[in-house]
Amino acid sequence: MPSRCGPHLVSLNLTGELSYLDSANPTQGRSKQVIAHTGPANCLALLPSGELASSVNFVSGGDDGRVLTWRDGVATQVEGLDPATRRTHSGKAIGVAGGFPNGVVVSVGYDDKLKVSGANGVGVARELNLGSQPVELAAAPGADLVVVALANGKALFLRLSVFMGAPAPSADADTGAVFFQVALPGSPLALAVSSDGTECACSVESVIHVLAVPADGSAAAALTVISKLEGHRGLVGCLAYSPDQQWLAAGDANREIKVRCGGDDFFINTTGKMTTTRGNESREAPIPSASFVLVFRAKKKSFSF
């Protein structure tokens, strides 16, 4: 039942949406709508800055299947293709990415689909049937690259502009919509892509596989394994590249963070300093000037440096 708030009538529906109507003209439709996630938010990604200097714009995905874009403190839902529910995903959303041209937003969910929004996050414009449950989503918007790690042990690579140019709004992963894919030696846990889209890191158990991503856009191009990074004592659950692409950070279930640069492994200690050891020699290293963030899902904690 609607309540009165000043000159407005306010109603709350079962999906958690607050609608404001002008009490003088209630038939003119909503003058304002306030929405948020009705359950936990599982994933976040930053968007370009907005009109308010103090605001942080981002996109979020939640257990309710919604993908929301937050600009200058106001949330807007990326509405799905089903007019009955308007949810972005029919299952929980577990990965989001933004920063693409024209404000396009990409997400994956437990409906086993990848969704791509229209301009400025308005509505789902394209969707891809992944064929398996997604584990992680990573993207390099400047390189037109989207990567999805799947529970069946595959990593799928898409050039977003090519996918958006497809004639049909829906496609399957085995019909040519995915231009690269690689079979991993097990189910992946974490995923990261360098900002220039030339390198991708994916963890399987406690091992990190670093792949070179071909730039020619050919479906026949091969993905090359650059290196296999070992040494973690727990499952590697999060990965992140620094913006300058010189550092790769990894966090594991043993509560250790390793930051790799070239052939060196650095450890983050409780004082916030990084140290590395070669033989009997221990030395300190400076924290990267360009900050980047690791998110530990199990403990819902984030670390930035």
139 in Cβ contact with 147 (< 8 Å): yes
Q: Is the model's pTM score more than 0.75?
A: yes
For the chain (305 residues), the mean pLDDT of every run of 10, in chain order, is 57 62 66 75 82 68 92 84 86 94 93 91 88 94 92 90 72 64 86 92 92 67 76 89 86 84 61 49 51 45 41
Res 161: pLDDT: 84
| 215 phi and psi angles, rounded to 5 deg | -100, -5
- Torsion on CA atoms 167, 170, 175, 179, rounded to nearest 10: 80
- Which CA distances in Å does 95 have to 10, 28, 100, 155? 32, 37, 15, 14
- Which CA distances in Å does 189 have to 32, 53, 186, 209, 295? 40, 36, 9, 11, 13
User: Whole-angstrom Cα distance, residue 178 to residue 160?
Assistant: 10
User: Whole-angstrom Cα distance, residue 170 to residue 129?
Assistant: 8
User: Whole-angstrom Cα distance, residue 65 to residue 38?
Assistant: 10
User: Whole-angstrom Cα distance, residue 227 to residue 274?
Assistant: 23
Res 300: pLDDT: 39
- Which CA distances in Å does 275 have to 265, 268, 304? 8, 7, 17
DSSP 153-196: SEEEEEEHHHHHT-SSSEEEIIIII--EEEE-SS---EEEE-TT
- Label residue 255 exposed, middle or buried (CB < 10 Å: 0-12, 13-18, 19+): exposed
User: Whole-angstrom Cα distance, residue 242 to residue 245?
Assistant: 5
DSSP 36-76: --SS-EEEEEE----SSTT---EEEEETTS-EEEEETTEEE
Sequence-ordered list of residues with C-beta below 8 angstroms from that of 231, at least 6 positions apart, any chain = 258, 265
Res 270: pLDDT: 43
User: Which residue type, as a one-letter code, is found at position 125?
Assistant: A
User: Whole-angstrom Cα distance, residue 234 to residue 251?
Assistant: 9
- Which CA distances in Å does 157 have to 8, 197, 212, 232? 48, 10, 12, 26
